[in-house]
Structure 1
Amino acid sequence: MTTLATLNTLDPAAFAAALGGIYEHSPWVAERAAGRRPFATLAALKLALQAVVDTASADERLVLLRAHPELAGKAAIAGALTQESTDEQAASGLNACSAEEYTRLQQLNGQYNAKFGFPFILAVKGPTGRGLARGAIIETFARRLENGRADELAEALRQVHRIAEIRLDVLLGLTPALGAQVMDWCDTIGEWSDADEGLTCAYLTPAHRRTAARIVNWMIDAGMDAHIDAVGNVVGRYAALDLNAKTLMTGSHYDTVRNGGKYDGRLGILLPIAVAAHLHARGERLPFHLDVVGFAEEEGVRFRSTFLGSSAITGHFDAALLDAADADGVTLREALVSSGHDPAAIPSIARKPEELLGFVEVHIEQGPVLLERGLPVGVVTAIAGSSRYCVELAGVASHAGTTPMGMRRDAAAAAAEIVLLVEQRCGGVESLVGTVGQLEVPGGSVNVVPGACRLSLDIRAADDRVRLAAVDDILAGIGAICARRGIDRKLWKIVEANAAPCAPRLMDQLGAAVERQGVPRCDLLSGAGHDAMQMARITEVAMLFTRCGNGGISHNRLETMTADDAELAGQVLLDFLRSIEVRE
């Protein structure tokens, strides 16, 4: 069996020969990487090969892409594929296409080549390395046909690197065990949804309770003591030998947005459980208690209030929310009681800051920064603060044909101007973003001037002063727009969350663990909110981001990551746990 140590000792020609099948018909990639040895880790080797391609000329990269065969194409039918490509296409059943599937693939191949000038490239072994279903391949093929050429060129090269990564795993006989376990677990609970289509898991629904119960079982199997607390958090402890030891907390949320992704939040629960199981199998204990928390609610889907789980842990749960009702009129109090929880016990689950060493959260990035930099993980510097508002505009509904343009009180036109105001005010300011994610004309009709409109505002920035200044300007601008157009307005604040900087000492220790895996440290801001924001109220926090595929899409069924990236994140977390400085 080829090993990394062996590869490091081969002469350049033998090294290139050993890796000859990693990049399709392109031995020059390995030849150029040979001079970068020795590689301390597999990740370092992968990144070195990737760097060769990324620094090659545009023509060389295009030749590399064109060296790949079409999926279920003429070369496959003629048996002219490399052994690696043959195995990969067979793993997804592309050698057993129905007549209809074969015809569709040939049609897509032709359209794709005509548009982009190179063949469609997809790592058909998929995120886990076990193979994608033919239907998923065809769906991805059709979706990527809609890309522009620059975006598709970048995605094709990323797929080339993913294919190379899988082939290296095979060559070296390595299996991303932690990563594969987490991916399997995400698949299991990803099937449990409140909706018939997609993944929706809202607070205290049957799917939510079923998910919590399964996480408890996985924690127990991993050698942890586990329970579900009064607010629905799943809490597992991998105990230290010293019962009086302090506690390091980790975790994330297991609820989802509507039609969300399988890894958002859940990665940060399941990966630490897999790490705890690894420690337990070795009989290894840490010098502190490791508490993994699956926070019950972070997304605000059911009761329009976020961080219910983590706010209870920090002692900041707002008891007034118990009277909030969902769309069916069920109050939060009633939902808790019907799920077997005691609302009166919620204050008792708050943690004492003096007993904590810190909180570290692993999370899929939910954005494209790591993807575009070609890096599997990154260290978060801060979590952006957020201000969210709902806005209701009231004008006058009137006949679209008989109301002169200058005499209209058009609520939708005012809303459109507000959308542009948000875009203009937040554009060009570092870390500042503004979004109108909801826009509705209630009871709108094609021949009626809109008399009402509802919209949302979401303003975020890493610097609270920058965010609040933008909010002030936007709210003042809304007032001016409405006054000029004769529109009445109502605004109410939904969320006001301060930015949460990560603790430099924990960032540095997390970054050192990343570098020991052979990956350069990459620091980046989190524009999304996370439970770590709440935990920062009682202890130091750190976050590790894991690369998000499909262009960085999240809060969407297309959200994806790979077992190899999850594995590396798990190894970073394991190293961090073993080496973290324990303060008395």
Structure 2
Amino acid sequence: MALTLEQLNTLPLPQACALLDGLYEHTPWIVERALAQRPFATLAALQQACIRVLEAEGQATQGAAEVALIRAHPELASKAAIARTLTAESNHEQSTAGLTHCTPEEFATLHKLNADYKARFGWPFILAVRGPRGTGLTRQQIIATFERRLHGHPDAERAESIRQIHRIAELRLQDKFGTSSPFHPALGQRVWDWQETLAVHSEPDYLARGELTVTYLSEAHRACAAQIAQTMREAGCDSVTIDAVGNVVGRYEGEGWKAGSPVSGPDAKTLLTGSHYDTVHNGGKYDGRLGIHVPLACVQQLHAQKKRLPHALEIVAFAEEEGQRYKATFLASSALTGSFDPAWLDQQDAAGITMRAAMQAAGLPGTMTAINALRRDPARYLGFVEVHIEQGPVLNQQQRPLGVVTSINGSVRLLGEVIGLASHAGTTPMPMRADAAAAVAELILHVEQAAAQRHPDTVGTVGKLDVPGGSINVVPGRCRFSLDLRAPTNAQRDALLADVQEGLRSICERRGLRYTLEETMRASAAPSSPEWQARWEAAVAAQGLPVLRLPSGAGHDAMKLHDILPQAMLFVRGENNGISHNPLESSTAEDMDLAVRAFQHLLTQLA
């Protein structure tokens, strides 16, 4: 019989603990201490309590409690697993992933990986083998993850093992509550499925390697647009269009709307939301696309319940955000803000195809008249909200499913070159060298120290290094480099830039070198609207979750909409330490479900 939250909240503690027996492998005290904090309003609140209990005990025991919990888990595909003599929960999980039916070759591989891993770390390899959807990873996926994590740092691997244990407990808890529970992640599973289905479209060379790449107006990109449009129609959007830059726009009208009417009501406004569906080369499945499908799940529920909001909801699947095919990043959202640069139409891709020609080949007008007509009138909109996978490690490391964005970082990019004197590596004494590369190496450390120590909340990166004509036996006479500096406010960004510029000047002066430095891009910070940020905070708290506020270091469509509308973002935790722009980018159906519930709460409170 499925559990209910009322039972856990009201039964005597020993009975409540017995109902959750096996949640944590051979470690009942975690549940016992968590349930002592009753009552819980949501399953997510109970899960967070368990996480904090173990965290506190780990700190008190200097990690010994966490290591003991890890060691309480069985090896994957062990003889005990094959014989099905593990706990009922472990037997079910390993069977779901097919680990009890390995081929002899797979069994041998896993046996060696288990031995190597335990020799390196001193504990068994832990992985939630039921995966992000709960239906089971393939044996190939498990082995690939095993091989990747075998080379991790012990501290990082211990932390990842604990995260995996909490994920296992989350799935076990869902099993105990059953599919009829009000906390069953059906909407999150639907969002997960939509994104997996969309990810079948990739450009041919990448598809052949099993990689995801969807660049602006490619055949794969147009297939994605068509599929998103169809999903919007099936979900219940009242109108679905593909506009003059390739955005897919679905509207769910508000109260007072009648079929054939252009607006929801005489004075009704619209809440704008969405994100992008293009990808980087060999990217992930959730970057951008999560922000399309989470609100779409809300529309589907509203439509199924025949409910209308006092306002319309407009979901925009932005056609371009990544700047992969053309150097016109955010061109899709720029069309909505009226900042689309006419010069972009004449930009050429690597094959010499202009943007105008690509648009026309895709059946779009390719004219500024059509593009200018897409500009949204701010007076008719309430604001812009965006849901996005975090693309970073903060939520993952702190084990929080959702986070509220305080600001999208402002940034500045520069290209520089230090000029010294190329000379013989064997005959030039160290004090007499004019080593350009050594100066840039010193600059890299200066940037790292400036961002980490002198300018809180900022980040700085030297991502490109080049020694033109370099040779193994020549002191570098020139060294080219890039700078990427980001901060939550323009003032913080500019202070970091000034620090780095002064550092470069001082380094080169001391070393007797010359340098050039050219600014190539500057983007203003986009602080969240206090009102809309507060709405997201209330929506997160309503899920029984602590509110974690954090800036976004990456750029988003919300940065552009910030020019004309109040905006705020919700982050969703990513797996694999939050990695993004990478095939390992992932999130769980449970976290996506919490994002849908938070969006529903925002809509309800707004209404």
- Please list, as runs of the form range in 1=range in 2, the aligned pairs for 1:32-431 lying within 5 A after superposition: 32-56=33-57, 57=61, 58-174=63-179, 175-194=184-203, 195-196=205-206, 197=209, 198-224=211-237, 225-242=239-256, 243-244=264-265, 245-341=268-364, 342-344=366-368, 345-391=370-416, 411-428=436-453, 429-431=455-457
Match of 2:487 in 1: 461
Counterpart check, 1:11 vs 2:12: yes
Taking structure 1 as reference, are residues 85 and 333 closer, same or farther at Cα in structure 2, changes over 3 Å only? same
Which of 123-132 and 181-190 deviates more? Answer: 181-190
Of all paired residues, the percent bearing the same amino acid is: 53
Taking structure 1 as reference, are residues 392 and 182 closer, same or farther at Cα in structure 2, changes over 3 Å only? farther
> In the aligned structure 2, how far is the partner of 1:439 from the partner of 1:89?
46
> 1:231 touches 1:343 (CA, 8 Å); kept in 2?
no
1:132 CA displacement: 0.6
Q: What's the secondary structure of 2:404's corresponding residue?
A: strand
> 2:489 touches 2:527 (CA, 8 Å); kept in 1?
no
> 2:451 touches 2:457 (CA, 8 Å); kept in 1?
no
> In the aligned structure 1, how far is the partner of 2:93 from the partner of 2:415?
50
2:546 paired residue among 498, 520, 524: 520
1:396 CA displacement: 6.7
> In the aligned structure 2, how far is the partner of 1:536 from the partner of 1:575?
23
> 2:31 touches 2:50 (CA, 8 Å); kept in 1?
yes
> In the aligned structure 2, how far is the partner of 1:390 from the partner of 1:559?
29
Q: What's the secondary structure of 2:36's corresponding residue?
A: helix
> In the aligned structure 1, how far is the partner of 2:285 from the partner of 2:166?
23
Task: Return the letter of the residue paired with 1:124.
Answer: V
Taking structure 1 as reference, are residues 9 and 484 closer, same or farther at Cα in structure 2, changes over 3 Å only? closer
> In the aligned structure 2, how far is the partner of 1:305 from the partner of 1:89?
47
> In the aligned structure 1, how far is the partner of 2:127 from the partner of 2:551?
30
> 1:113 touches 1:120 (CA, 8 Å); kept in 2?
yes
> 1:15 touches 1:30 (CA, 8 Å); kept in 2?
no
1:485 CA displacement: 6.6
Match of 1:537 in 2: 563
> 1:336 touches 1:343 (CA, 8 Å); kept in 2?
no
> In the aligned structure 2, how far is the partner of 1:17 from the partner of 1:368?
35
Task: Return the letter of the residue paired with 1:241.
Answer: E
Taking structure 1 as reference, are residues 297 and 285 closer, same or farther at Cα in structure 2, changes over 3 Å only? same
> In the aligned structure 2, how far is the partner of 1:399 from the partner of 1:269?
58
Deviation digits for residues 115-167 of structure 1 (CA, Å, limit 9, x no counterpart)? 22221111000011011111111111121122222211111111111001001
Task: Return the letter of the residue paired with 1:229.
Answer: D
> In the aligned structure 1, how far is the partner of 2:423 from the partner of 2:335?
49
Which of 56-65 and 132-141 deviates more? Answer: 56-65
Q: What's the secondary structure of 2:595's corresponding residue?
A: helix
Deviation digits for residues 362-396 of structure 1 (CA, Å, limit 9, x no counterpart)? 11111122122221101111111011123356667
Between Structure 1 and Structure 2, how many residues are aligned?
Answer: 581
> In the aligned structure 2, how far is the partner of 1:186 from the partner of 1:528?
21
Give me the TM-score of the superposition, normalised by structure 1: 0.94
> In the aligned structure 2, how far is the partner of 1:510 from the partner of 1:123?
30
Taking structure 1 as reference, are residues 105 and 21 closer, same or farther at Cα in structure 2, changes over 3 Å only? same
> In the aligned structure 1, how far is the partner of 2:516 from the partner of 2:286?
36
RMSD over aligned Cα, in angstroms?
2.3
Taking structure 1 as reference, are residues 328 and 453 closer, same or farther at Cα in structure 2, changes over 3 Å only? farther
> In the aligned structure 2, how far is the partner of 1:373 from the partner of 1:134?
29
Taking structure 1 as reference, are residues 443 and 217 closer, same or farther at Cα in structure 2, changes over 3 Å only? farther
Taking structure 1 as reference, are residues 221 and 509 closer, same or farther at Cα in structure 2, changes over 3 Å only? same
- Please list, as runs of the form range in 1=range in 2, the aligned pairs for 1:486-497 lying within 5 A after superposition: 491-497=517-523
1:241 CA displacement: 3.0
1:43 CA displacement: 1.0
1:420 CA displacement: 2.9
- The runs of 5 or more residues in structure 2 that have no matched partner are 257-263
Q: What's the secondary structure of 2:222's corresponding residue?
A: helix
> 1:337 touches 1:343 (CA, 8 Å); kept in 2?
no
> 2:188 touches 2:591 (CA, 8 Å); kept in 1?
yes
> 1:20 touches 1:26 (CA, 8 Å); kept in 2?
no
Q: What's the secondary structure of 1:361's corresponding residue?
A: strand
Taking structure 1 as reference, are residues 403 and 297 closer, same or farther at Cα in structure 2, changes over 3 Å only? farther
1:354 CA displacement: 0.7
Task: Return the letter of the residue paired with 2:20.
Answer: L
1:440 CA displacement: 3.4
Q: What's the secondary structure of 1:36's corresponding residue?
A: coil
- The runs of 5 or more residues in structure 1 that have no matched partner are none
Deviation digits for residues 433-482 of structure 1 (CA, Å, limit 9, x no counterpart)? 11112233456554555565543211101121121122234345445656
1:183 CA displacement: 1.4
> In the aligned structure 2, how far is the partner of 1:208 from the partner of 1:395?
47
Counterpart check, 1:500 vs 2:526: yes
Deviation digits for residues 45-69 of structure 1 (CA, Å, limit 9, x no counterpart)? 2112222222224333322222111
Task: Return the letter of the residue paired with 2:25.
Answer: E
Deviation digits for residues 30-51 of structure 1 (CA, Å, limit 9, x no counterpart)? 2222222222111112112222
